[in-house]
Amino acid sequence: MRPLSIVVRTICNIFAWFVAIFGAYIILHGHLTPGGGFQGGAIVATFIALLLVAHGGKSFLGWVKKEIFSSFEGAGLVAFVCVGFLGLSTTFLYNFLALKGGLFGSAVPIGPNVGVLNTSGTIALANIAVGLEVVGGLSTILIFMFLGMRYVSEGGKEGVKDDK
């Protein structure tokens, strides 16, 4: 896949970062608003897709190694399972941090949602873990779809390297 025009790449360089920040916002505010780890992870993976399409696969894979996304996927899975097992004294995925104070355990204020982020307990940790998992999984799928498309476009030759 060849890079698109300089205009498209410039607009992508400006706009794509807003997509990534919005995805992170959705992941972190998942317990307060509609959304969460899966939706935010899909938005961040859209950021990866924008960069891949605008700059072309060779450039993108020159900046980022595809193994990093497998690492994100594995780290998200391990983090989610660890969050689940931390509350195992009561039940799997028990919200043991709720109302304990500290970073994630503040009491929920009475009245309308004022956007207090530290009231979720383990829900925020689970959202972050799911977000990492989805970013890693969807980005890996996108990269391997590009590599498969490249393999087919070059005639399915056995000597085609899949790393660039």
Decide if 162 is inside a domain.
no
Is residue 110 one of the residues assigned to a domain? yes
pLDDT value, residue 10:
92
Does 159 reside within a domain?
A: no
Mean pLDDT of the chain: 84
User: Which regions of 19-133 does DSSP assign to beta strands (E)?
Assistant: none
CA distance 93 to 27: 18
Q: Of 124, 114, 95, which is closest to residue 24 (Cα–Cα)?
A: 124
Report the number of distinct structural domains present in the chain.
Answer: 1
Q: How far apart are CA 117 and CA 151, in angstroms?
A: 46
What are the CA-CA distances from residue 163 to residues 39, 45, 87 (Å)?
Answer: 29, 20, 41
State both tokens at 36.
């969460």
More confident residue, 40 or 154: 40
- pTM of the predicted protein model: 0.81
Round to the nearest angstrom and report the end-to-end CA distance of the chain: 11
pLDDT of 23 higher than 80: yes
User: pLDDT band at residue 156, thresholds of 50, 70 and 90?
Assistant: low
CB 122, CB 83: distance < 8 Å: yes
Q: What is the CA radius of gyration of the chain?
A: 19
Residue 147 lies in a domain: yes
Is 161 part of any domain? no
Percentage, residues of the chain above pLDDT 70: 84
Other C-beta atoms closer than 10 Å to the C-beta of 56 total 17
Report yes or no on 158 lying in a domain: no
Task: Look up the domain containing 78 and give its range.
Answer: 6-153
Whether 163 maps to a domain, the answer reads no
Mean pLDDT, to the nearest integer, of 24-43?
A: 90
DSSP, collapsed to helix, strand or coil, labels residue 68 as: helix
Percentages helix, strand, coil for the chain (3-state, rounded to 5) are: 65, 0, 35
What local confidence, expressed as pLDDT, does residue 87 receive? 81
Would you say residue 164 lies in a domain? no
